[in-house]
Amino acid sequence: MLNRISKGDERAFGELFHAYYNHIGEFVQLFTHDLEATEEIVLEVFTKIWINRESLPLIENFDAYLFILCRNHTLNHVRKQAAEQKRHTAYLREVDNVAETLEEGSSDPYDLLEQAVQLLPPQQQKVFTLRRQGVKTPEISRRMSLSIESVKKYQHLAMKFIRDFVKAAAATSLFYWMVLFQ
């Protein structure tokens, strides 16, 4: 079957997919506890198999190969989720700090901006800082060895995060003003 798939036989690939889909889905689900993430990981694994189909005849133990692919994709997903949770927790902690600062009467907008910038992921932070210094997108692309589209995406994500952060701080400030003047 692997030889047929390596030659582009979609029917054989479909058979492989149906033979293993539930089995590896159950395995991945044990770690993700998220049906949507499980489906995404399983589809990524099969996509990778199809993309690299020419190398299938070289695989001596397909079950082990499939297990390793699933394990690696699942671990990457779990790590990504943990990092996102860590960033989210840091964000919430920082929002609490902003709320305390606002409660104490200091609401310097530059402090809010700097706090938001410090919470950005490293690539977004660097792109945002360079743009703030007046460096143009093509130069940032060259300096960071990123595509122009990636630079634009990081800039957009950074601006969205900062905007949301400042809005959250403003909402918190408004809440405290409302409580103080009741």
Which of the two residues, 103 and 127, has the higher pLDDT score? 127
Residue 97 in any domain: the answer is: no
41-70 pLDDT tens trace: 999 999 999 999 999 999 999 999 999 999
Choose one of 39, 62, 79: the last residue of a domain.
Answer: 79
Residue 16 in any domain: the answer is: yes
Choose one of 41, 63, 79: the last residue of a domain.
Answer: 79
Rounded CA separation 84/162 (Å): 16
Residue 73 in any domain: the answer is: yes
Overall domain count for the chain? 2
What CATH number is associated with residue 9?
1.10.1740.10
114-161 pLDDT tens trace: 888 888 999 999 999 998 888 899 999 999 999 999 999 999 999 888
**Domain that includes residue 162, residue range:** 107-180
- Kindly state whether residues 6 and 57 are assigned to the same domain: yes
What CATH number is associated with residue 139?
1.10.10.10
Q: How far apart are the first and last CA of the chain?
A: 74
- Kindly state whether residues 25 and 64 are assigned to the same domain: yes
Rounded CA separation 29/21 (Å): 12
Residue with tokens 């994500």: 157
Helices and strands (DSSP H and E) totals, the chain? 8, 0
